[in-house]
Chain A
Amino acid sequence: DAMVIQNPRYQVTQFGKPVTLSCSQTLNHNVMYWYQQKSSQAPKLLFHYYDKDFNNEADTPDNFQSRRPNTSFCFLDIRSPGLGDAAMYLCATSRDQRQGSYNEQFFGPGTRLTVL
């Protein structure tokens, strides 16, 4: 089945120690998104890629970076995690968003990040 895969499902890191979260997709979608979801809150968009075009949300901290080496993979790098970065990180994909109708986003299962 075509899907969005996130690894690992659970990640524990230490305060200030860089961490990378991974997302891959078999849907061949050209748009990929990263969301942060803190406990009992709605998902909040951090940034998205339209193909290789990176789009950062204005309020996304510089501590968060992303890489997309190819269509299938996208990485979220947290350079110096703080206690406030503990959250569920959701990856999502969608088809071309710049033409035609709005296209729905498909979500992965998420990676729960714990910062000690």
Chain B
Amino acid sequence: AQSVTQPDIHITVSEGASLELRCNYSYGATPYLFWYVQSPGQGLQLLLKYFSGDTLVQGIKGFEAEFKRSQSSFNLRKPSVHWSDAAEYFCAVGARAAGNKLTFGGGTRVLVKP
């Protein structure tokens, strides 16, 4: 069965500083990888996804993520954080062999200091 680990439960970053959120997955076949963002009391918004091709993917709101098969990782980055980026971020893996289920990591809560 697939699984996703987000090692950092909380991250605090200063506004304007760079941000990197870690994500490691476990899945035996080709993974379909996603990053979602969730603001308090809101649903999930897709930031970006990786299915195949270029391992560096660009998303909305200035986010990017890099797929590294050798490390089973799909880390999310943003060069300069804005206060509005304070939210919870979920990494997820989709697996066709598992009935197309989407498995989420535990999430990383990002706090932005002025």
Residues of A at the B interface (CB closer than 8 Å) are 4, 6, 31, 33, 40-43, 45, 55, 90, 92, 94, 97-98, 101-102, 104-110, 112
Contact = CB atoms under 8 A, between A and B. Distances in A.
B90 A90 contact: no
Nearest to B105: A42
B100 A41 contact: no
B48 to A, nearest CB: 10
16 contacts: A6-B43, A40-B107, A40-B109, A42-B90, A42-B107, A43-B44, A43-B90, A92-B44, A94-B100, A97-B100, A98-B100, A102-B94, A102-B100, A104-B49, A104-B94, A107-B43
A104 B34 contact: yes
B99 A42 contact: no
Contacts of B99: 55
Contacts of A102: 32, 51, 94, 96, 100
Interface string B10-38: 00000000000000000000001010100
Interface of B: 32, 34, 36, 41-46, 49, 51, 90, 94, 96, 99-102, 104-107, 109
A45 B101 contact: yes
Given A104-B49, A109-B42, A110-B43, A42 B106 contact: yes
B44 A112 contact: no
Contacts of B32: 102
A105 B102 contact: yes
A41 B104 CA distance: 10
Nearest to A111: B43
A94 B49 CA distance: 14
A105 B104 CA distance: 12
Nearest to B42: A109
Contacts of A40: 107, 109
